Every structure is written in structure tokens, then in C-alpha cells.
Amino acid sequence: MNVSDSERIATFLEEQGFSLTEKIQDADLVIFNTCGIKQTAENRAYSMINNLRKAELKAKSQKLKAIIMTGCLANRADVQKRMKTKVDLFCEIKNFPESVSCILYDVSHMNSKIQNICPKLILGMKYEIRNTKNILSKEKIDYLSINPKYQSAFSAYVPIMTGCNNFCSYCVVPNARGREVSRPAEEIITEVKDLIARGYKSITLLGQNVNSYHGTWSMKHGAKALTFTELLKKINAIPGKFWIQFVSSHPKDMSDELIENIAKLKKVCEWIHLPVQAGDDEILRRMNRKYTQKHYLARIRKIKSAFKKHKPAALFSISSDIIVGFPGETKKQFLQSATVMEKTKYDMVFFGQFSPRPETVAWGLKDDVSQAEKFRRENFLNEILKKTAFTNNKKYVGKKMEVIIEKEKNGSYFGKTRTQKNVKVESKKKDLLGKIIKVQITKANIWNLEAKLN
């Protein structure tokens, strides 16, 4: 989501006359699009900003960089207090165009008031205001409607919503990004059509909980709201050869109808990321996840049976997120996460050691599982994952399948299957980057596959 947001921020600033620099040292304005999901991510942002300011001091630089902090940390009072001498402007991502437009508006009118607030943002900065329409009208611009320049020329992230209403007890997102807002369906469809016309091969729909998408479908279509299933059907119907993927789903909102359609729609890939977070019902209740282990495993059975019914010849994959060491998680409760892993047989799991986040319910709970025990639990689950991922990968050997090539390094190509498996492809052919090619899988490893050109 942050990669996608940064693409929109960069495009917005380019439209105002700024240009991207190759090196951070050359920049007049530096935007930190922060992540606050874990303490480590937060610390990284602080240390990058501090290092930048230290380098200016050391160089006795006359011209200081203007620093804007946005993303998950920008709205937190404790962060603003801590970083107020280093950061010139804190702004929420959804208000980014508006906040920055206001500053540019004031600059363009030489309003002295703003110079007191943010002098570095004005002095010494080279830009010409090219597109004054939005700035001078001070219109509220929805940042999701900005048509971004994508970092990749063949694979694009398309946000379909932002924010979240679920308030899982450990999660900063509802506070950091605000309540759930769905993008109008037509805007999403127009963006995807445009990408496909420009040759993009892979579209990843983004949202904190895509299953609860509820975007307007314009007046000319009778002013209704589309569900995520309906949105997937409409994107699937766009002509052209491309893949559709999406993250993240929530087990409580994953309906039978949605699962059937994911498995049925041709362009939707055979991969579902369904975060379980914990296997124990009491821990799930205290995480405010609003489902039980039984419900989750029933969703997994439904996913497996739907893929087998609609795409019997295709392999499919399931991935998840699991937090270890949630406050009060006993060893017995932790072992329920292992049970879910054994039963689901995941292809990939992203583990997180519980890290208390300010302004969440779990912040007030005693973080009573030691760091060493969190490491031990993560390693224990990782051993289960290694076994299931390797067993699943072995099913690919000898199979012919499509791979999208994402990288070329040292004479080999690296890409992904429709099931999100990393594949190393040996080929003497040139210009495969960004293409969907047919390969034959020759070897399975724990974390990746090897293949030759078919």
C-alpha cells in the first residue's frame, strides 16, 4: 500500500513542478512515507530522518532539506513531539494533496504566515508551479484519484480502498489511515483499462480488507454500490491478457460467493492470502478478529474445494499472516496456531512477533511473552512452513505453466507463477522482462522453483 501511495505522492509533486532525484542528497524536499506496523519499521524512519539531519549539520549545509512525514506515523502525537525539530510538516496520506497544495498556494501568494510555520519548505527550493488549477482553487483532491506513474512497466498496484473499520486490537491501521473508504468502481475500472492498454500484465488490487469493498457505481449505471465480487467480475471482463491478484482478505468477510468467483474467473490468479493471525479462539477473541479457528478452517476447506471444482488442472496456493507472542498467549494457545498451519498446509506465512503499538487496545495489555520465547515460537512455526511449502512446491515439478518475468540477474531470469511462487528461469533468450512466458518446472526448493523455457 505504501509503494502505491508513494507512486501517487511522486506524481502529484511532479505535476506541481518538482522532479524526482536519483540520490536523497540532491533533494530539496524529502517525503517519508512511514509504516508503523512494527516498532522496527518505526525506528527505521526515525533513524533515516536523524541521519539526514546529521549529514546536513556535518556538511554545514546552508540549504536545509524540507522534510515531510506522511503515512502511518504522521498523525501520532507522540511521533510529532519526538520529531518536531527534524520534520517540517506532518500530514496524513489522505490529506497529502490538500496539505501540500495549501503550502504551495501560500507560497504562490507569498503569504508570510506559512513561512513562519515551515520556512524550509519555501526557502531554497527550486520549483515552478506548473499546474495551478488544483492549488489555486484549493479543491479537496482525493489522493486515490491521482493517476500515478507506476514504478514497474508491467505490474501495477491499484488501490481500491483505504482505511479499515475492524479495529483488530493490535493494529494501528484504523487510527493511522482512518475509517474504510472505497474508491468509486468506475475510477478503478478506468485505471485498470488504461494500464492494460499500456501493456501491463499484472494488476494487484489493494486494500486493508478488500472483501468489504463497497464502491459506488455511477449514476448512468443506476447509482448502486458494487461488492468486491462484482468488481472482480468487471475487471475480469476487461479484454486483454493479464493477471488479477488482490490483498488482503479478512476471514470474516470471505463469503462462499466470493470464493466461488475467485476460483471461477479466468484472469484471477490461483492465490489467496487469508491472514489467520492466531489459531486459538480466546486469542482471536482478544485480537478482536471476530472469527474462530473452526470458521477459518471452514473457509480454507471451501477455497480448496472451489479451486478443485473450477480449475481442476491448476495448482493453487494459500498464504497467511501469523502473530506470535500476543499478550497472555500461553504455550498451549500458541500450539493452536501450529494446528492451523498443519491443517492448512500453507505455501507462505508472514510471521510477526507481537510488538505493542501506541493507540491500540493491545498497547494497554502486558507484553508478557519474552523476546526469546517469541523467537522460539516463530522458529517453531517456520519449521512447519518449510515442510508444507516444500511439499507443495514438489507438485510443480514437470508441470508447464506461465511465469511473469520480473528481474534479470547474472544471466538468469526471475519471476512469479500465478500462485506467487518465485521461479528462477534459465534462458538464453533476450528481452523477457515484463513478459508472461511458458516454462517447465525442473526443480522444487523450499522457497522457490527452478524452470527452463518451454
Given the rule CB under 6 A, which residues bind ligand SF4?
Answer: 164, 166-168, 171, 173-174, 208-209, 250
- Tell me how far, at minimum, the Cβ of 355 lies from ligand SF4, in Å: 13
Indicate the residue among 174 and 215 with the shorter CB distance to ligand SF4.
Answer: 174
Indicate the residue among 268 and 278 with the shorter CB distance to ligand SF4.
Answer: 278
In this structure, the strands spanning 243-247 and 89-90 are unpaired
Indicate the residue among 121 and 173 with the shorter CB distance to ligand SF4.
Answer: 173
Neighbours of 236 (CB within 10 A): 15
Indicate the residue among 287 and 437 with the shorter CB distance to ligand SF4.
Answer: 287
Give the residue from 125, 138, 151 showing the smallest Cα distance to 65: 125
- Tell me how far, at minimum, the Cβ of 274 lies from ligand SF4, in Å: 12
Indicate the residue among 89 and 287 with the shorter CB distance to ligand SF4.
Answer: 287
- Tell me how far, at minimum, the Cβ of 178 lies from ligand SF4, in Å: 11
d(CA 214, CA 157): 19
Indicate the residue among 208 and 319 with the shorter CB distance to ligand SF4.
Answer: 208
- Tell me how far, at minimum, the Cβ of 168 lies from ligand SF4, in Å: 3
- Tell me how far, at minimum, the Cβ of 101 lies from ligand SF4, in Å: 28
Dihedral angle of Cα 424, 236, 270, 1, to the nearest 10 degrees? 70
Indicate the residue among 16 and 209 with the shorter CB distance to ligand SF4.
Answer: 209
d(CA 34, CA 227): 30
- Tell me how far, at minimum, the Cβ of 120 lies from ligand SF4, in Å: 34
Neighbours of 29 (CB within 10 A): 19
Which SS3 state, helix, strand or coil, does residue 339 take? helix
Sequential DSSP letters for 5-29? HHHHHHHHHHHTT----SSGGG-SE
Question: E strands along 1-99, which residues?
Answer: 29-34, 66-71, 89-90
Question: Could you tell me which residues are beta bridge partners of residue 159?
Answer: 206
- Tell me how far, at minimum, the Cβ of 60 lies from ligand SF4, in Å: 44
d(CA 287, CA 413): 41
